[in-house]
DNA sequence: TCCATTGCGTTGTACTATACAACTACTTCA
DNA sequence: TGAAGTAGTTGTATAGTACAACGCAATGGA
C-alpha cells in the first residue's frame, strides 16, 4: 500500500473514532448543555442573535429540530425571542444573561480540557494541526 | 492572545464542528449502516469475532445498547452468533458473508470519499495530519 | 386590491441511539 | 453446594432527529 493511502486510512479511522465518541464525551462533561445546544447557543452569542431558520441552514438541521432545541433552551432560561418588528413571522433569538453565563462557563471548561489534552504539544505542531483541521473541514463543507 | 491559545481555540472549534456533522453525514452517505453499526461490524471483522461485552467495553457503550445494535445487525443478516462451547453464556459474534460484503462496500466508499476530500493534499501534509490525529485521539483515550 | 405563493415557525408522528435497572441463565470459587 | 460474579436481554425512559401538515405573516402579480 502506498504511503499516501496509509495516511488517508489513518485519517479516516481517527476521524471516525473521534466522531463516535464526541457527543457522549461532551454530554458527560457538560450535562447542562449538549453538544448541539452548546453549538446553537454559541452561534447566537457569536452572531449577536439570529433566526431559527439561519441556525437550521447553517447546521443542516431540520427547522423542527431547531424549533425544539430552542424551545428547550428557552425553557432553561438560556435563550429569549424578540419578534422582528419589520416581519412578524420572524423571531430573533438571543442568549439571555443566564444563557451567556452558562455558555461562557462551558466554553471555558471545554477550553481547559483541550489545553490539558494538548499540553505536551509544541507550538509548531499545534499550529499545523489547527491549520490541517481547518483545511479539512473547509473541504468537507463544500461537499455537505 | 498568545499564538498557542489561538491554535488550541481553532482545534477546539474545528473538532466540534466535525463532531456535530459526522453522524448525519455518515447516515446520508450510507443509510444501510449507521456510523455506530459500521464501527461495530468493522470491529468484529477486524478482531475475527468478539463478544458483545468486549464491544461495549471498547466503545464505552452500555451492554444493552450493544445488545440491540447487534440484534439489528443480525436481523439484517450481517452478523451471526456462535455460542462459545466453553461458556454457554458467551456468544461470539462474527460478520456473515453478507455482512462482510456490505462492510467492504461501505469501507471502500468511505475510503473514496476521504481520498477525494484529501485529493489536493500533498503527501507530507497527509502524513503529518494522520500523525496528529492519532496523537490527539490517543491522549483523549487516556481521559475517557 | 385580492388571492396565490412563499417563508417562518410549531406541532404531530415516528424512528434511532442511548442509558439504567431488573431480570434470566450460566459459571466460578470458597 | 450455595453465594457471588458475568453475559446478555428486556422494560422503560430520554434525547435528538426527520418529515409532513399546519397556521400565520408577507409579498407580488393580475
Domain-embedded: residue A119: yes
Within this chain, do residues B13 and B64 fall inside the same structural domain, yes or no? no
Within this chain, do residues B24 and B45 fall inside the same structural domain, yes or no? no
Q: Tell me whether residues A114 and B26 touch, CB distance under 8 A.
A: no
Scanning every strand, the nucleotide with its C1' closest to B65's CA turns out to be C18
- Rg of chain B's alpha carbons, rounded to an integer? 18
Within this chain, do residues B68 and B123 fall inside the same structural domain, yes or no? yes
Best mutation target, B3, B10, B20, B137, to test chain A (most A CBs within 10 A)? B20
Domain-embedded: residue A73: yes
Question: A126: distance to nearest CA of chain B, Å?
Answer: 6
Coil, strand or helix: which one is B49?
A: coil
User: For chain B, how long is the longest CA-to-CA vector?
Assistant: 62
Domain-embedded: residue A127: yes
Total domains in chain B come to 2
Within this chain, do residues B81 and B107 fall inside the same structural domain, yes or no? yes
Within this chain, do residues B1 and B57 fall inside the same structural domain, yes or no? no
As a dihedral over the C-alpha atoms of residue B65, residue B68, residue B70, residue B73, rounded to 10 degrees, the angle is -130
Is B11 near chain A, with CB under 8 Å? yes
Domain-embedded: residue A23: yes
Is B58 near chain A, with CB under 8 Å? no
Within this chain, do residues B13 and B54 fall inside the same structural domain, yes or no? no
Domain-embedded: residue A96: yes
Range of the domain at B115: 33-143
Q: Tell me whether residues A10 and B134 touch, CB distance under 8 A.
A: yes
Contact pairs from chain A to chain B, CB under 8 Å: 150
CA count, 13 A, side-chain hemisphere, A63: 4
Domain-embedded: residue A7: no
Within this chain, do residues B119 and B55 fall inside the same structural domain, yes or no? yes
Q: Residue B8 is placed in which grid cell?
A: 488550541
Within this chain, do residues B91 and B80 fall inside the same structural domain, yes or no? yes
Phi and psi at B60, nearest 5°, equal 55, 45
Here the CATH number for the domain that contains residue A129 is 1.10.10.10
* Nearest CB to B130; choose among A10, A19, A144: A10
Within this chain, do residues B102 and B62 fall inside the same structural domain, yes or no? yes
> Read out DSSP for A1-22?
--HHHHHHHHHHHHHHHHHHHH
Within this chain, do residues B27 and B40 fall inside the same structural domain, yes or no? no
Within this chain, do residues B65 and B9 fall inside the same structural domain, yes or no? no
Domain-embedded: residue A6: no
Per-residue confidence in pLDDT tens, chain A, 144 aa: 678 889 998 988 888 888 888 888 888 888 889 989 999 999 999 999 999 999 999 999 999 999 999 999 999 999 999 999 999 999 999 999 999 999 999 999 988 888 988 999 999 999 999 999 999 988 776 655
Within this chain, do residues B26 and B55 fall inside the same structural domain, yes or no? no
pLDDT tens per residue, range B15-74: 888 888 887 788 878 888 888 899 999 999 999 999 999 999 999 999 999 999 999 999
Amino acid at each position: 500500500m502506498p504511503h499516501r493511502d496509509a495516511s488517508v486510512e489513518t485519517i479516516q479511522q481517527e476521524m471516525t473514532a473521534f466522531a463516535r465518541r464526541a457527543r457522549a464525551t461532551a454530554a458527560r462533561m457538560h450535562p447542562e448543555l449538549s453538544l448541539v445546544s452548546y453549538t446553537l447557543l454559541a452561534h447566537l452569542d457569536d452572531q449577536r442573535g439570529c433566526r431559527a431558520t439561519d441556525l437550521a441552514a447553517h447546521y443542516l438541521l431540520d427547522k423542527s429540530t431547531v424549533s425544539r432545541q430552542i424551545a428547550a433552551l428557552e425553557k432553561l432560561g438560556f435563550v429569549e425571542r424578540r419578534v422582528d418588528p419589520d416581519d412578524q413571522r420572524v423571531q430573533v433569538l438571543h442568549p439571555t444573561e443566564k444563557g451567556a453565563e452558562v455558555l461562557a462557563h462551558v466554553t471555558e471548561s471545554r477550553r481547559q480540557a483541550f489545553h490539558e489534552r494538548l499540553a505536551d504539544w509544541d507550538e509548531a505542531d499545534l499550529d499545523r494541526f489547527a491549520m490541517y483541521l481547518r483545511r479539512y473541514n473547509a473541504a468537507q463543507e463544500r461537499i455537505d
